[in-house]
């Protein structure tokens, strides 16, 4: 089984862009784009994992119940969309608790999975992983094996991180190996840029290794004509990439592979 994951944030949630939330009041597009994703998943009878910002859950209180009603997993993306190192240890804990409480209240279940904004956790961030264990999280999906935004030499397949507070499973997103390094075929601009057969071949490669491939996308990637922040290149390309609709590639994969939630993968995965 593979996994579809969605980082539920609005079009203006970009790390390092510090405009006041009031600037975007009334301009949110997250709900309509999440509804498009839900409709596509329902068409193929697939359940997915939704990593939800606590601030979005607060602003759109009917969104989490809508997602949960489809049998999808509700997981945490933090509260403010600030990179984890900027929060400090106690700030990170506060965001986890605040987000966990609102997701549990709205969705009926405490989240067991976390993904950091902008892949901002690193393997050496031992205290952050300890806090995740202390707060009851069973898995993390933040360590992207890519250059610039992650750890280019990091593992591509699930592994266990041992902390002083217990072990936590790390499930990296899918990448494609190449002579120039790992390519972001599992999500973001690469998911919309690279051809479907190439992405599908990578999924099959993961499955032959006995691992599920983890696909990720953002609601804004279902909205190619939507608004964009005034970012400069190459940041603008890293955030937005091409104007293609991610739904096209997502549908291609849903037709050809078996998908479930990360919680299901965690329950079926046994570390060596």
Q: For 49, which DSSP code? A: E
Whether residue 16 is predicted with pLDDT greater than 70 in this model: the reply is: no
CA distance 23 to 205: 44
Query: Structural domains in the chain?
Result: 2-268 (3.20.20.370)
pTM of the model: 0.93
Lowest mean pLDDT of 36-50, 117-131, 253-267, name the range. 117-131
Lowest mean pLDDT of 25-29, 106-110, 208-212, 268-272, name the range. 268-272
pLDDT, residue 74, reads: 98
Instruction: For 194-245, write each residue's pLDDT tens digit.
Output: 999 999 999 999 999 999 999 999 999 998 888 877 777 766 766 776 767 8
Secondary structure element (H or E) that encloses residue 150, with its range: none
pLDDT, residue 11, reads: 74
pLDDT, residue 244, reads: 76
Among 160, 9, 133, which residue's Cα sits nearest to residue 81?
A: 9
| pLDDT bracket for residue 272 (50, 70, 90) | very low
Angle subtended by helix axes 196-208 and 246-256, to nearest 10:
40
pLDDT, residue 77, reads: 97
pLDDT, residue 229, reads: 74
Question: Between the CA of residue 101 and those of 58, 107, 111, 118, 138, what are the distances in Å?
Answer: 11, 10, 9, 23, 17
């Amino acid at each position: 089984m593979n996994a579809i994951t969605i980082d539920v944030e609005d079009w203006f949630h970009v790390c390092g862009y510090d405009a006041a939330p009031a600037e975007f009041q009334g301009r949110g597009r997250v709900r309509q784009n999440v509804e498009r994703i839900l409709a596509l998943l329902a068409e193929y009878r697939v359940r997915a994992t939704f990593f939800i910002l606590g601030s979005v859950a607060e602003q759109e209180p009917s969104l989490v119940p809508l997602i949960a009603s489809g049998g999808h997993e509700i997981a945490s993306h933090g509260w403010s969309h600030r990179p984890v190192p900027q929060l400090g240890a106690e700030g990170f804990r506060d965001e986890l608790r605040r987000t966990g409480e609102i997701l549990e209240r709205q969705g009926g279940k405490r989240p067991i999975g976390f993904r950091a904004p902008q892949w901002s956790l690193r393997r050496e961030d031992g205290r952050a992983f300890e806090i995740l264990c202390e707060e009851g999280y069973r898995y993390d999906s933040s360590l992207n094996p890519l250059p610039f935004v992650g750890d280019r030499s990091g593992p591509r397949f699930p592994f266990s991180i041992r902390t002083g507070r217990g072990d936590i499973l790390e499930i990296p997103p899918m990448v494609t190996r190449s002579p120039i390094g790992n390519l972001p075929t599992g999500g973001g601009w690469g998911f919309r840029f690279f051809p479907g057969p190439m992405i599908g071949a990578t999924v099959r490669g993961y499955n032959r290794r006995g691992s599920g491939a983890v696909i990720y996308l953002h609601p804004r990637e279902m909205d190619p004509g939507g608004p964009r922040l005034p970012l400069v290149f190459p940041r603008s390309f890293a955030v937005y990439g091409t104007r293609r609709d991610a739904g096209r590639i997502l549908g291609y994969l849903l037709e050809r592979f078996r998908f479930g939630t990360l919680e299901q993968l965690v329950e079926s995965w046994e570390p060596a």
